[in-house]
Amino acid sequence: MNRQARRFTVQGRVQGVWFRDSTRREAERLGITGYAINLPDGNVDVLAWGPPDALEALEAWLHTGPPLANVSAVIASEVPTSGQGSESPPADFSTG
């Protein structure tokens, strides 16, 4: 299975609106592992591991998020999956 990893920084009104738990449920539905955590600046950091098509679907979902969210931007970056500086894939999707 071709698994890739991407990090997303989600900006806007994304804390206190069930964003992390909704992201976890969407990621699990798509077969993605990783995490969603609140950042001190009010953004949410999402690390996602999965097949490329699932990562694209999650990214599209992140632009809207749950009903109470108001997403202003999603910044995506590739995460190395092998070699120096790479991270190991998590076993599940968690929220911090």
Annotation marks residue 20 as catalytic: yes
User: Where do the domains of the chain lie?
Assistant: 7-81
CATH 3.40.50.2000, domain 7-81, yes or no: no
pLDDT at 2: 84
Q: Is the Cβ–Cβ distance between 26 and 61 less than 8 Å? A: yes
Helix (H) or strand (E) holding 25: helix 19-30
Residue type, 5: A
Catalytic residue among 2, 7, 38, 43: 38
Q: Is the pTM of this model over 0.85?
A: yes
Annotation marks residue 7 as catalytic: no
**Average pLDDT, 10 consecutive residues per value, the chain (96 residues):** 90 97 98 97 97 98 97 95 72 92
pLDDT at 54: 98
